[in-house]
């Protein structure tokens, strides 16, 4: 197994477990990540996901050059043969995903990070999209997500040169939320996940959906989307519980219903 997928309470953890290969993703790993993400998406008891890598050297060093890249070259853009879709490409997961970047996040590894909502980086992490140095470009959304997250000129420099940056530079340009000591990365991600789990899960998912879908529309269309999602939430049990708990000055017990 390449993806070590575990659930503890409301939190699911996806660990890319190929430390001998710096957690590079092979065909098997992409398929397993897809299967785990689908299970997470469909599990009513799982509310927040954390993606990390095994060991302390790498989150994920990207696509396995000897396995995944040849597979993608041979099958081209035929989606019937390309490894199953993930949250980077084609799979909609409205539950929050947190990247716990415990080391190098390069190429496809950074693209996994970019497809997460919140990003916690180790002090020793290095991040980059070095694909152009191999004669290719990022294929899991890197050319599309990075310019939407950092200033255009910063994205252009990273994409055109393949230069790697350290965690502090990633923090300065807004690529990650926090930089913490290596032994605090997963704990910090879990702390944030626990905080999110205290909020209404349906509301959190609606907020994420509104953010993502709204970013591809006009402001007017985005506001209409926001209102439609809000209207749905007003008819949920969680809304009744949340407002009742507020009036009664107690913590709410949400059920994602």
Q: Which domains does the chain have, with CATH numbers?
A: 3-197 (3.90.226.10), 201-248 (1.10.12)
The H or E element that residue 237 is part of is helix 237-248
The H or E element that residue 33 is part of is helix 27-42
Quick check: 207 and 48 in contact, CB under 8 A? no
| pLDDT for 55 | 93
User: Residue 170's closest CA among 129, 138, 218?
Assistant: 129
Catalytic residue positions, numbered = 111, 131
Quick check: 111 and 145 in contact, CB under 8 A? yes
DSSP annotation string for 59-126? EE--B-TTTHHHHHHHHTT-TTTSPPPBTTBB----S-EEEEE-SEEETHHHHHHHTSSEEEEETT-E
- The DSSP bridge partners found for residue 100 are 52, 120
Q: How many CB atoms lie within 10 A of CB 256?
A: 18
Distances (CA, A) of 50 to 66, 79, 181: 27, 27, 18
| pLDDT for 167 | 97
| pLDDT for 227 | 96
| pLDDT for 67 | 76
Distances (CA, A) of 80 to 41, 48, 62, 83, 84: 22, 29, 22, 8, 9
| pLDDT for 22 | 95
Please name the residue ranges forming H helices in 151-236. Answer: 152-161, 167-172, 185-197, 201-214, 219-233
The pTM score is: 0.93
| pLDDT for 228 | 96
| pLDDT for 70 | 76
Q: Which residues of the chain have pLDDT under 50?
A: none
| pLDDT for 241 | 94
Structure tokens at 128: 């980059």
| pLDDT for 65 | 79
Place of tokens 């689908």: 38
| pLDDT for 85 | 66
């Amino acid at each position: 197994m390449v993806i070590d997928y575990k659930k503890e309470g409301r939190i699911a953890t996806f660990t890319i477990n190929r430390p001998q290969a710096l957690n590079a993703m092979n065909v098997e790993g992409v398929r397993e990540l897809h299967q785990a993400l689908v299970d997470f998406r469909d599990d009513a008891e799982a509310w927040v996901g954390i993606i990390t890598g095994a060991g302390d050297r790498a989150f994920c060093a990207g696509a396995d050059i000897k396995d995944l890249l040849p597979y993608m070259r041979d099958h081209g853009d035929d989606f019937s043969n390309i490894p199953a879709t993930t949250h980077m490409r084609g799979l909609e997961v409205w539950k929050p995903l947190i990247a716990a970047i415990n080391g190098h996040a390069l190429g496809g590894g950074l693209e996994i990070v970019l497809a997460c909502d919140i990003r916690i980086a180790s002090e020793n992490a290095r991040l980059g999209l070095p694909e152009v140095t191999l004669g290719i470009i990022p294929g899991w959304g890197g050319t599309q997500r990075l310019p939407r997250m950092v200033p255009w000129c910063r994205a252009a420099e990273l994409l055109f040169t393949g230069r790697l940056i350290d965690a502090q530079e990633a923090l300065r340009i807004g690529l990650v939320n926090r930089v913490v000591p290596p032994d605090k990365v997963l704990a910090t991600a879990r702390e944030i996940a626990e905080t999110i789990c205290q909020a209404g899960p349906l509301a959190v998912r609606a907020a994420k959906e509104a953010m993502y879908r709204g970013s591809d529309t006009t402001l007017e269309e985005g506001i209409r989307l926001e209102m439609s999602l809000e209207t749905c939430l007003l008819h949920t049990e969680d809304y009744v519980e949340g407002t009742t708990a507020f009036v009664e000055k107690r913590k709410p017990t949400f059920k994602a219903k």
